[in-house]
Amino acid sequence: MGLTKTEEFTKAQNEMAVLAKALGHPARIAILQFLIKTKSCVCGDIVEELPLSQSTVSQHLKELKNAGLIKGDIEGPSVCYCIDEKTWSKAKAQLDKLFDSYKEPGCC
Amino acid sequence: MGLTKTEEFTKAQNEMAVLAKALGHPARIAILQFLIKTKSCVCGDIVEELPLSQSTVSQHLKELKNAGLIKGDIEGPSVCYCIDEKTWSKAKAQLDKLFDSYKEPGCC
DNA sequence: GCTATATATCGTAATATTACGATATAAGGT
DNA sequence: ACCTTATATCGTAATATTACGATATATAGC
């Protein structure tokens, strides 16, 4: 056991879970905020900004990339990361939909 | 190792990460959608709705409760779960803020 | 108090995540 | 080709998550 039963859920549910999971770590929130703030999408400056080692930051960047939230362009010897607009707006839309589907205060 | 360095990040970053992490599993997305759909916030019917065992569902409910997204009222022999309005709108606001802070398409 | 039903918790096993140092890879400059 | 710099990957260790069956707990009804 210990393996998420993805096949048992809908595509939409799995997609949303993947996106939310990628946001489910303070370091990754911090990375995204930093990428948004410094529009120039400075690359390895993230390592200096975060209280984590270079390899750990690289791992978090990889996960954000896997989820599709960011993309990385090679730029000389370094890599330039930035928000992937398409997935970003998709994530926003999906989460908005979930949050907005709750209207009335239920029963308890 | 293997322990998230929560102290190194801001309160807001950690809070958002906790909320997102709670949403980071398809079963928990399914549970929330079900709770919203059946306004009567039927309790253990969730177990019948999901392709998971009773104990596993109970574990997921516990995590959603820990994150504050839902609350459970004892109602006779069973428990009535429903969305916790306060945390729900807080989560919505925090995520909205993150998503909306991205405007221009960066560089790459 | 006993019984049935509904949830929660415990114990356990498998897999995943987080983190780091060390090492590998890739690109630019000399 | 060599060196430097920037990132990525590997190996490893600790902790967390996911899942289930079995057992405990709690409440209503008898």
Least confident of A65-69, B38-42, B69-73: B38-42
Per-residue pLDDT at B48: 93
User: Does residue A59 lie in a domain region?
Assistant: yes
Per-residue pLDDT at A43: 73
Distance CA B102, CA A89 (A): 10
Per-residue pLDDT at B44: 81
Distance CA A18, CA A41 (A): 24
User: Does residue B1 lie in a domain region?
Assistant: no
Q: Which nucleotide has the least CA–C1' distance to B4?
A: C18
- How many domains, in total, are found in chain B? 1
CB spacing of B108 vs A71 below 8 angstroms:
yes
Distance CA A77, CA B9 (A): 29
What CATH number has the domain bearing residue B35?
A: 1.10.10.10
Which residues 6+ apart lie within 8 Å of B26 measured at CB? A4, A6, A8, A9, A10, A13, A14, A16, A17
Q: Which domain holds residue A77?
A: 9-95
User: Does residue B2 lie in a domain region?
Assistant: no
Distance CA B40, CA B43 (A): 9
User: Does residue B59 lie in a domain region?
Assistant: yes
Give B62 or A105, the one with higher predicted confidence.
Answer: B62
**What average pLDDT score do residues A10-24 get?**
98
Distance CA B17, CA B6 (A): 10
pLDDT tens-digit readout, A86-104: 999 999 999 999 999 998 7
pLDDT tens-digit readout, A21-50: 999 999 999 999 999 998 767 778 999 999
CB spacing of B105 vs A85 below 8 angstroms:
yes
Interface of A with B in 66-95 (CB under 8 A): 71-73, 75, 80, 82-83, 85, 88, 91-92, 95
**What average pLDDT score do residues B34-56 get?**
88
Q: What is the amino acid identity at position A42?
A: V
CA distances from B86 to A46, B20, B83, B93 (A): 34, 16, 9, 11
Per-residue pLDDT at A73: 87
